[in-house]
Amino acid sequence: MGKIAPSLMCVDLLNVERDIKLLEEAGVDYLHVDIMDNHFVPNITLSFDFIKSIKRITDIPLDVHLMINNPEESLQYLDMLTAGDIVCIHYESTIHIHRAIGMIKDLGVKVGLALNPGTPIGVIENLLPDLDMVLIMTVNPGFAGQKLIPSMLEKIEKLRALLNEKGYSEIEIEVDGNVSFDHAKLMYEKGADIYVGGSSSVFSKENSIVENCKRFREII
């Protein structure tokens, strides 16, 4: 069964606690927290202080997606995270990716590696022993509400095949970007495990958060 990770950059920022309580009621698996630096991606969203506040009001594990340059220089600000949380950094965001992954492991959290749409899956081969998850960006990172890049569906399938072939079938695949209800079905068929629900699913205006999550659960 797939896991739901609602993207908190899509919550009603004037009613965060209300929306998080609804996500708890919906039984989601993670809260996806996008951190951006306006350099690695052209946007600024949530912050490390926001994460500290979230940790005070919920026990849902956090899935922290760092879209920042040289993330190894900022890991010190994530000392509020615990073993069930994930820290996911971009392959493209540092020249010393292996060292940065080791530093995340030293935090005692799960490690994710995110790949931009233009980055081939082959880059992960030497990093597999240290990963818990690989995040496939299905849009170019930086903004919610973008359109799915269709070729990313095949990339999910190829990644699942590569992980299984190399003996790392336990590594989970997360998909992030325009994960609508229809797209989630296609991604599920291609082998995705964790689904970042954003403006086109969990936070779609079609229904309530709880209703949207229920519909999402029926798909994955």
Task: Report the C-alpha gap between 98 and 204 in whole angstroms.
Answer: 37
| Binding flag, residue 93, ligand DX5 (CB under 6 A) | no
Give the full edge-to-edge strand order of the sheet including 194-196.
Answer: 3-4, 194-196, 172-176, 133-137, 110-115, 86-90, 62-67, 31-36
Q: How many CA atoms lie within 13 A of 116 on its CB side?
A: 14
CB-based closest residue to ligand DX5: 198
Q: Does 176 bind ligand DX5 (CB under 6 A)?
A: yes
62 to 91: interface string for ligand DX5, x by CB under 6 A: ---x--------------------------
Q: Of 130, 114, 55, whose CA–CA distance to 85 is shortest?
A: 55
Q: Which class for 99: exposed (0-12), middle (13-18), buried (19 or more C-beta within 10 A)?
A: exposed
Residue 176 is a catalytic residue: yes
Part in contact with ligand DX5 (CB under 6 A); list of ranges 55-63, 85-93, 105-113, 137-145? 137-145
Q: Looking at 86-94, 103-111, 120-128, 138-146, which segment touches ligand DX5 (CB under 6 A)?
A: 138-146
Does position 65 bind Zn ion by CB under 5 A?
Answer: yes
**63 binding Zn ion? (CB under 5 A):** no
How many residues lie near ligand DX5 (CB under 6 A)? 20
